[in-house]
Structure 1
Amino acid sequence: MDTMLGKTLFLLVCFILSCFFIISTTRYRRRKSLTAAATPPGPPRLPIIGNINLVGKDPHRSFANLSKTYGPVMSLKLGCLNTVVITSPEAAREVLRTHDQFLSNRGSNNSINSFNHQERSLVWLPSSSARWKLWRKLSATLLFSPQRMEATKDLRMKKVKDLLSFMSESSERKEAVDISRALFTTTLNIISSLLFSVDLGSYDRLKELNGFQDTVTGVMEAIGNPDAANYFPFLRFFDLQGNSKKVKDNIERLFRVFRGFIDAKIAEKTLRSNPKDVTDGDFLDALLHLTEGDEAEFNTNDIEHFLSDLFTAGTDTSSSTVEWAMAELLSNPKTMEKAQAEIDHVIGQKCIVQESDISELPYLQAVVKETFRLHPPAPLLVPRKAESDVEVLGYMVRKDTQVLINVWAIGRDPSVWENPSQFEPERFLGKEIDVKGRDYELTPFGGGRRICPGLPLAVKTVNLMLASLLHSFDWKLPKGINPEELDMDETFGLTLHKTNPLHAIPIKKRHPN
């Protein structure tokens, strides 16, 4: 018996030592490999500021131009912040897939840290944290799962019908429509109905909608703008560019809206003798239900931060993408005619496009993909941070380095795309390329564990709104504006907006009943 026990212990010790040796050898080889790997090339650095002078007001464009000289894995020194910029599908694959485990956390952002959002945010929390995993699970199961997407299909359809009704009234008056405001109203109402069961936007008061749309775009611009405090941490106290103040002011406006809904739902629940089943409620009902009890994992303040992520990302990116698509189509009348002909052929006698029709519209889907290629909602995605030394395409990315994936540049790379500056949806016909994070030449929603959780809703909403507008109306630009002269200027932030909102005149089509 003692002999058997001794053999067992001996074998166990041998097993443990073998595992230790294998792990140690692997780590040593990895460190040796990384030590041997070269630092990514980059432009010469000035004293103290490094390469800040090269960033400019449009970093995605500046970095794209620099990458032509220094390659797809480029190193920059932005003050105290080491940065690596990725500008090829192969390098993006390394970051989003191969080394996703080590490159999925977020860097420090002064605007976000100014109101401690990084401690509660789905976007900014470390992917290893329990809170991040909880937010991800709740958003996936309660909002974006296939079952929830099917259950909320009628809601999205109703909001799109409201958009078409507004466009019909404008058509009767032969008025040019502020496409940006109208689309934002639609996406705002889709999101607010999912979250709170109310419409926050009104087509009768588009000018008054400035509060919501300007608040959301203000947040995105201030977070994404180059900020001296991100490059020199000792400047955070001064907020020289006012980004922190702008974000805090705008976020506080959103929080006041959220608190109103939270307080109303809590008061309503207190007055009810028989609270309704949480499964019959909206997303906020479900979240508040989870704050009850002694072992609740979060509180109402956490909910405000969580809702702000969903609200800003959900309203801003979808409406902006459809606006860019309409602008490109108005600039390319033959492409618009081709998209409308396909829709009219497939929809036939029906007056309204349904979500189920989208799968039968390959050219429309190609138009949306082409829009994402040229105008990705987040041109540099959300910055990542290396949690350890990682080798990307033979170059060493050191721990704590900020990693930016320039999807805007990848989408316009002539070595990846033929005629990259041209709007040509035909390039996607007959190809299996999609935007779901598996094709690294087209990743507007990111990839890996940090892929945008709202991707299913965004893709459905964008395709449905665009198809509905093209099916129900013909479009023309206001008098004096030629298609080839249409303003396509963009404003950089965490998301990319059209600088001057698109205005166009809807001309109602006469479909048979």
Structure 2
Amino acid sequence: MIASFIPGWLLLLLLFTVLVVVKKKIGSRRQTNLPPGPPKLPIIGNLHQLGSLPHRSLAQMSKKYGPVILVQLGGVPTVVVSSAETAKEVLKVHDLDCCSRPSLAGTGRLSYDYLDIAFSPFSEYWREVRKICVLEIFSTKRVQSFRFIREEEIASQMKFIAQSASTSSPVDLNQKLLALTANVICRVGFGMSFQGSEIDNDRFHEVIYEALAMLGSFSAADFFPYVGWIADRLSGLHARREKSFHDLDAFYERAIDHHRRSKKAEEGKEDIIDVLLKLETEKVEIGDKPLSEHILKQSLMDVFLAGIDTAALTMTWAMTELIRNPRVMKKVQAEIREKIGNRGKVREEELDQLEYLQLVVKETFRLHAPGPLLIPREAMTEFKISGYTIYPKTRIQVNVWAIGRDPNIWKDPEEFIPERFQNSSIDFKGQNFELLPFGGGRRGCPGVYMGAVMVELALANLLYCFDWELPQGMKKEDISTEEAAGLTVHKKEHLRLVPITYN
């Protein structure tokens, strides 16, 4: 969310304009019964208190001021909720009151008409596009149809790791797992791996990673809506962001054109573009308009930028916690190897048998939710959370990281203990507000099933095929769990482990 801070000289440029505009916009009406929060500075509000890891700073504020706090981020009043009860109020009780999205110029969305519809929750477009995503792209049947892709790519990655095992060389799991998920997502979307495909010209992965960096970058325009664009242009961020998203747009266009020219995909092996083009051929309408190429591109954007990063970092954190907790590692490997026997790999239909592995995944989501702060919502009407009045145009964020470490919910919240989910009905699909790695309500992630299957299958095979050791001279106490700033929470230091082939 906040990767850096606005240069001091730019604040002078913004000073008088911001004072006039913000005071007129926010201070023109008297607001009462607001949530508590820390004192703020003129112009920047509480931005200086967020630091490089805002979810941690906001969690500390909630310990002092309560589970509902109000912070002023530049010119934007923002309410942050940090408990399961208040998250339920936002995502369920008042879902309709705040299921809109603010216009976040920092993500480049305002430059692309086909993405603007995602921020109009009551438009027919928004409803119909979400229905297409849920029923056609992320349905259980459709996700299962991509099974052969996941299994092929995981098997390929196991072969690469086996080569390192033959020489006892450390493997960079951050890198390997990111490449794995990138290949799976690109094949699911484009029908081809990002490495060596005719679509990418060896650049697709660079474009994707640059887009992820732009999504996690600080943008003055997000916090100073009327004048922040000046800072973004002077810093070069605006031009870099525009280039990033235009590059993505060009790739989508070429991929769609490639599919239009190609013969029809084999039944059961269609990728997402095939599915969407089939709907276009069938003249499916969005509201009163036919399915357009804009909608195709938006759907691809959702799949790629939401899918590539989150599964990889979840697996990396899981392996980090397992190598730090040998008892858990031994227990989950024993379960997998006992259930699978000598079949050589874990298949997708066998995942339901691996109950302890599923507990490990839940515990990883609890401690290391991919997005520690859910993508912000915006209040559309006046309503109350825990008795505090929330006014229209207030930005609302749910601190999933803080909820996952709430001592009122979890015993020993900083410890990695998968058994806490044994005989528990708590799941991560958006109905239990104690565990919200994929959000909930109308804005919950529709790709939850696709992401969970990818994480479970890849982890199961990593743990079945190999034993894992630390590089020579390193002890488990030396493993860093420091986080890197961004839209998602990465492990700052790459995880390098030595694989030993399991016979």
TM-score, normalised relative to structure 2:
0.86
The alpha-carbon deviation at position 160 of structure 1 amounts to 1.4
Deviations 1:443-496 (Å, cap 9, x if unpaired)? Answer: 000001111011010011101110110011001122232111112221122211
Contact 1:110 1:244 in 2 (8 A): no
Aligned counterparts of 2:116 and 2:338: Cα–Cα separation in 1? 42
The alpha-carbon deviation at position 337 of structure 1 amounts to 0.9
Aligned counterparts of 1:428 and 1:209: Cα–Cα separation in 2? 45
| Residue from 345, 349, 358 that aligns with 2:351 | 358
Assess, with a 3 A threshold, how the Cα gap between structure 1 residues 480 and 248 changes in structure 2: closer, same or farther. Answer: farther
The range that moved more, 131-140 or 321-330, is 131-140
Tell me the equivalent position of 1:80: 75
Tell me the equivalent position of 2:414: 421
What secondary structure, in the 3-state scheme, does the structure 2 residue paired with 1:75 have? strand
**1:42-57 matched pairs, under 5 angstroms:** 42-57=37-52
Aligned counterparts of 1:91 and 1:171: Cα–Cα separation in 2? 48
Tell me the equivalent position of 2:450: 457
The alpha-carbon deviation at position 392 of structure 1 amounts to 0.8
Deviations 1:355-391 (Å, cap 9, x if unpaired)? Answer: 2222222211111111111111111011100011111
Tell me the equivalent position of 1:325: 318
The alpha-carbon deviation at position 282 of structure 1 amounts to 2.5
Write the letter of the residue equivalent to 1:460: V
Tell me the equivalent position of 2:62: 67
Contact 1:320 1:497 in 2 (8 A): yes
Match status 1:104 vs 2:99? yes
Write the letter of the residue equivalent to 2:82: T
The alpha-carbon deviation at position 122 of structure 1 amounts to 8.6
Deviations 1:400-421 (Å, cap 9, x if unpaired)? Answer: 1000100001111122211111
Tell me the equivalent position of 1:306: 299
The range that moved more, 275-284 or 334-343, is 275-284
What secondary structure, in the 3-state scheme, does the structure 2 residue paired with 1:326 have? helix
Aligned counterparts of 1:37 and 1:476: Cα–Cα separation in 2? 58
The range that moved more, 177-186 or 437-446, is 177-186
Write the letter of the residue equivalent to 2:219: D
The alpha-carbon deviation at position 88 of structure 1 amounts to 0.2
Contact 2:33 2:388 in 1 (8 A): yes
Tell me the equivalent position of 1:263: 257
Aligned counterparts of 2:125 and 2:479: Cα–Cα separation in 1? 45
Tell me the equivalent position of 2:188: 194
**1:79-478 matched pairs, under 5 angstroms:** 79-113=74-108, 115-117=110-112, 119-121=113-115, 124-201=118-195, 215-233=207-225, 234-239=227-232, 242-268=236-262, 281-291=270-280, 297-478=290-471
Assess, with a 3 A threshold, how the Cα gap between structure 1 residues 115 and 301 changes in structure 2: closer, same or farther. Answer: same
The alpha-carbon deviation at position 292 of structure 1 amounts to 5.3
Assess, with a 3 A threshold, how the Cα gap between structure 1 residues 277 and 221 changes in structure 2: closer, same or farther. Answer: closer
Aligned counterparts of 1:346 and 1:336: Cα–Cα separation in 2? 16
CA RMSD in angstroms, aligned pairs only = 2.6
Aligned counterparts of 2:38 and 2:265: Cα–Cα separation in 1? 62
Q: Any unmatched runs of 5+ in structure 2?
A: 1-29
The range that moved more, 101-110 or 465-474, is 101-110
Contact 2:102 2:119 in 1 (8 A): no
Tell me the equivalent position of 2:25: none
Q: Any unmatched runs of 5+ in structure 1?
A: 1-34, 270-274
The alpha-carbon deviation at position 226 of structure 1 amounts to 4.0
Aligned counterparts of 1:369 and 1:352: Cα–Cα separation in 2? 22
What secondary structure, in the 3-state scheme, does the structure 1 residue paired with 2:72 have? strand
Assess, with a 3 A threshold, how the Cα gap between structure 1 residues 417 and 277 changes in structure 2: closer, same or farther. Answer: closer
- Of structures 1 and 2, the larger Rg is shown by 1
What secondary structure, in the 3-state scheme, does the structure 2 residue paired with 1:84 have? strand
Assess, with a 3 A threshold, how the Cα gap between structure 1 residues 289 and 141 changes in structure 2: closer, same or farther. Answer: same
Assess, with a 3 A threshold, how the Cα gap between structure 1 residues 64 and 79 changes in structure 2: closer, same or farther. Answer: same
The range that moved more, 454-463 or 104-113, is 104-113
What secondary structure, in the 3-state scheme, does the structure 1 residue paired with 2:103 have? coil
What secondary structure, in the 3-state scheme, does the structure 2 residue paired with 1:252 have? helix
Tell me the equivalent position of 2:12: none
What secondary structure, in the 3-state scheme, does the structure 1 residue paired with 2:412 have? coil
Aligned counterparts of 1:363 and 1:306: Cα–Cα separation in 2? 34
TM-score, normalised relative to structure 1:
0.85
Aligned counterparts of 2:375 and 2:49: Cα–Cα separation in 1? 20
Contact 1:374 1:411 in 2 (8 A): yes
Aligned counterparts of 1:293 and 1:137: Cα–Cα separation in 2? 16
Deviations 1:176-218 (Å, cap 9, x if unpaired)? Answer: 112122112221222222222111147xx9xx99955554444
Deviations 1:144-176 (Å, cap 9, x if unpaired)? Answer: 212223322222222211121121122113221
The alpha-carbon deviation at position 241 of structure 1 amounts to 5.3
Aligned counterparts of 2:328 and 2:409: Cα–Cα separation in 1? 22
Write the letter of the residue equivalent to 1:220: L
Assess, with a 3 A threshold, how the Cα gap between structure 1 residues 308 and 266 changes in structure 2: closer, same or farther. Answer: same
What secondary structure, in the 3-state scheme, does the structure 1 residue paired with 2:132 have? helix
Aligned counterparts of 2:498 and 2:207: Cα–Cα separation in 1? 27
The alpha-carbon deviation at position 350 of structure 1 amounts to 2.2
Contact 1:121 1:306 in 2 (8 A): no
Contact 1:184 1:213 in 2 (8 A): no
Write the letter of the residue equivalent to 1:155: I
Aligned counterparts of 1:413 and 1:44: Cα–Cα separation in 2? 24
Contact 2:108 2:245 in 1 (8 A): no
What secondary structure, in the 3-state scheme, does the structure 2 residue paired with 1:236 have? helix
Contact 2:80 2:399 in 1 (8 A): yes
Contact 1:106 1:384 in 2 (8 A): yes
Aligned-pair identity in percent equals: 38
Aligned counterparts of 2:202 and 2:420: Cα–Cα separation in 1? 37
Aligned counterparts of 2:496 and 2:116: Cα–Cα separation in 1? 34
The alpha-carbon deviation at position 301 of structure 1 amounts to 4.1
The alpha-carbon deviation at position 430 of structure 1 amounts to 1.6
Contact 1:328 1:423 in 2 (8 A): yes
